[in-house]
Amino acid sequence: MSLIDEVEALFISGKGGDGAATFHREKHVPRGGPNGADGGKGGDIILMADRGVRTLYDVQLHGEFRAGDGANANANKRGKDGKSLTIRVPIGTIITDVEVDEPLVDLGADGMRYRLCRGGRGGAGNLRFVNSVRQVPRFAMKGEPGEALRVRLELKMLADVGLVGLPNAGKSTLLSVVSRAKPKIGAYPFTTLSPNLGVAKVGDRSFVIADLPGLIEGAGDGVGLGHRFLKHTERTKVLVHVVDGFPIDESDPWQNYLLIEEEIRRYSPELHARPRVIAINKIDMQSMGDLPALLKQFEQAGHPVFAVSGAAAQGLEPLLFHLDSIIQEAESQIEPLVITPPLERVDENLWEIHRDADEFVVTGKRVERWVNMTDLENRDAVRHLHRRLERSGIIARLREMGAQDGDNVVIDNWEFTFSDW
């Protein structure tokens, strides 16, 4: 299965169940009162980071997710809550609200949960509306609609070490030798079509290595496979630039190194500033007389240089111990990339009114919820909604704006006729 690391999907939480407008009926009890119960709560949409999930394939496959609706209430019996839906995603998945293009959460730890869409509340039964004045309420509230949110899920792998370099530099072979990873290996460019992860052990410690597809010239501008996967290096603590010391095309290893470094810098200056180790690979394929000159040339890069051979398993232990020391130091000195705080939700109590031609338009999350939970065919329920609008100050504001009896008032696509009642 190829890596699916960025998808968009629609998530819809469950609608709340309707409350009941019923009355107690029992033999020998002539004055039974209202006993309508509340509807059940709609199911939530929950995203959970799971170390056992490596790709967003399942999210892409479904495309749309719906939680269960709450059940309607019966006489004296509350409706059953709708079933919540938990979607498991890889660790390191960033959730972004597509509509406003703002990040919501970074699921960066195993088991981390985030309620993406809250299920609608169950409608109140008529028993809840009994008071000293209204002793026989003949209405109940409808269930609150669920929330719908289209989000983008973007996976940025959690690895301590990222292997970068040209295609066929030997990164996959190197990863397979220092860990138990089994990447596909071939003698042609772009064998690695998706990042591979492996765990390398150094003494009693271990760290995760990500082998990324080879970069080519122009990768920083979106050319080739490398740009798509460069983002997976953003969480790494150290980069290992693997250089083919004996390229088949007889190109200059130093110029190849400079080319890839420039692509990384163009993609992200912050990433380019991360600690770096240079691994001159395939030393088993060149004469030992050429190696000292090659190593001396790479020392001018200002990074530690190691001569290794993935295929022959040469020089790997010093490289791994050095990487482990850098990781330990980086863990205490380099702050991880931090996603912006969760998006600030608009205060539900806020509302606005604006005049549009010959009608008044009222907007506000709570006001719209009141309307959607009201049985608009029940006169008593509509009166209750009118009192709510009065207490909130909306009716007074409409009067101030010049609303007269008979004027149209629109709330969440519902059209009403203004009246002082």
Assign residue 232 the CATH number of its domain.
3.40.50.300
SS3 401: coil
Q: How far is CA 255 from CA 92, 130, 161, in A?
A: 34, 82, 23
Q: CATH number for the domain including 151?
A: 2.70.210.12
74-131 pLDDT, tens digit each: 888 899 999 999 999 988 888 999 988 888 888 877 888 999 999 999 999 988 888 8
Q: How far apart are CA 282 and CA 391, in angstroms?
A: 78
Q: How far apart are CA 64 and CA 51, in angstroms?
A: 23
* Residue in 144, 17, 11, 24 with CA at minimum distance from that of residue 89: 11
59-88 pLDDT, tens digit each: 998 999 999 999 999 888 899 999 999 999
> What pLDDT, on a 0 to 100 scale, did the predictor assign at position 419?
79
**How many CA atoms are closer than 13 Å to the CA of 79, on its beta-carbon side?**
32
Domain assignment present for 167? yes
> What pLDDT, on a 0 to 100 scale, did the predictor assign at position 305?
92
**What tokens were used for 221?**
């501008």
Same domain, yes or no: 70 and 93: yes
Paired strand residues for 46:
86, 115
Same domain, yes or no: 139 and 63: yes
Paired strand residues for 66:
12
Domain assignment present for 346? no
Tell me the average pLDDT across 295-311. Answer: 88
Same domain, yes or no: 180 and 239: yes
Domain assignment present for 246? yes
Q: Which of 133-142, 207-216, 297-306, 387-396 has the weakest average pLDDT?
A: 207-216
242-282 pLDDT, tens digit each: 998 878 777 889 998 998 888 888 877 887 888 899 999 88
The counts of H helices and E strands in the chain are 10, 18
Same domain, yes or no: 226 and 266: yes
308-366 pLDDT, tens digit each: 888 888 888 999 999 999 888 866 664 444 444 444 455 567 889 898 878 999 998 88
Per-residue confidence at 213, pLDDT binned at 50, 70, 90?
A: low
The answer to whether residue 3 scores a pLDDT higher than 70 is: no
Which domain, by its residues, includes 326? 161-333
> What pLDDT, on a 0 to 100 scale, did the predictor assign at position 186?
44
* Residue in 144, 143, 138 with CA at minimum distance from that of residue 377: 138
Same domain, yes or no: 258 and 173: yes
The answer to whether residue 13 scores a pLDDT higher than 90 is: yes
Tell me the average pLDDT across 187-197. Answer: 52
> What pLDDT, on a 0 to 100 scale, did the predictor assign at position 8?
94
Q: How far is CA 375 from CA 71, 76, 85, 363, 410, in A?
A: 17, 19, 28, 19, 16
Same domain, yes or no: 315 and 393: no
Domain assignment present for 341? no
> What pLDDT, on a 0 to 100 scale, did the predictor assign at position 348?
65
Q: How many residues does the chain have?
A: 421
> What pLDDT, on a 0 to 100 scale, did the predictor assign at position 68?
96
Domain assignment present for 338? no
SS3 258: helix
130-185 pLDDT, tens digit each: 887 788 888 899 999 999 999 999 887 767 888 888 887 888 888 888 876 554 44
What percentage of the chain has pLDDT greater than the value 90?
29
Domain assignment present for 345? no
Paired strand residues for 36:
75
Which residue stretches of 73-216 are H helix?
Answer: 171-178
Q: Which of 155, 174, 194 is the last residue of a domain?
A: 155
Q: How far apart are CA 104 and CA 114, in angstroms?
A: 9
> What pLDDT, on a 0 to 100 scale, did the predictor assign at position 241?
93
CA dihedral 343→347→348→354, nearest 10 degrees, is -110
Q: Which of 92, 126, 155 is the last residue of a domain?
A: 155
Residues 6 or more apart in contact with residue 135 via CB below 8 angstroms: 33
If you compute the radius of gyration of the chain from its CA atoms, what whole number of angstroms results? 31
Q: Are 345 and 112 in contact (CB under 8 A)?
A: no
Tell me the average pLDDT across 212-239. Answer: 59
Same domain, yes or no: 322 and 208: yes
Same domain, yes or no: 168 and 299: yes
Same domain, yes or no: 91 and 123: yes
Domain assignment present for 143? yes
Which tops the pLDDT comparison, 2 or 199?
Answer: 199
- Per the structure, the count of domains in the chain is 3
SS3 112: coil
Q: Which of 9-23, 55-69, 221-235 has the weakest average pLDDT?
A: 221-235
Q: Which of 14-18, 335-339, 373-377 has the weakest average pLDDT?
A: 335-339
Q: Which of 333, 365, 380 is the last residue of a domain?
A: 333
pTM of the model: 0.64
DSSP annotation of 30: T
> What pLDDT, on a 0 to 100 scale, did the predictor assign at position 282?
87
Per-residue confidence at 23, pLDDT binned at 50, 70, 90?
A: confident
> What pLDDT, on a 0 to 100 scale, did the predictor assign at position 65?
97
Same domain, yes or no: 255 and 363: no
Q: Are 95 and 151 in contact (CB under 8 A)?
A: yes
Q: CATH number for the domain including 357?
A: 3.30.300.350
Residues 6 or more apart in contact with residue 142 via CB below 8 angstroms: 18, 19, 39, 123, 372, 373, 374, 375
Same domain, yes or no: 329 and 373: no
Segment of 80-89, 184-193, 377-386 carrying the highest mean pLDDT: 80-89
Same domain, yes or no: 185 and 135: no
Neighbours of 354 (CB within 10 A): 10
Q: How far apart are CA 94 and CA 92, in angstroms?
A: 6
Q: How far apart are CA 360 and CA 365, in angstroms?
A: 17
Domain assignment present for 186? yes
Q: Are 367 and 350 in contact (CB under 8 A)?
A: no
Paired strand residues for 141:
374
Looking only at the bridges linking them, the beta strands covering 64-66 and 85-89 are unpaired
Q: How far apart are CA 178 and CA 306, in angstroms?
A: 15
Q: Which of 185-189, 247-251, 391-395 has the weakest average pLDDT?
A: 185-189
> What pLDDT, on a 0 to 100 scale, did the predictor assign at position 215?
57
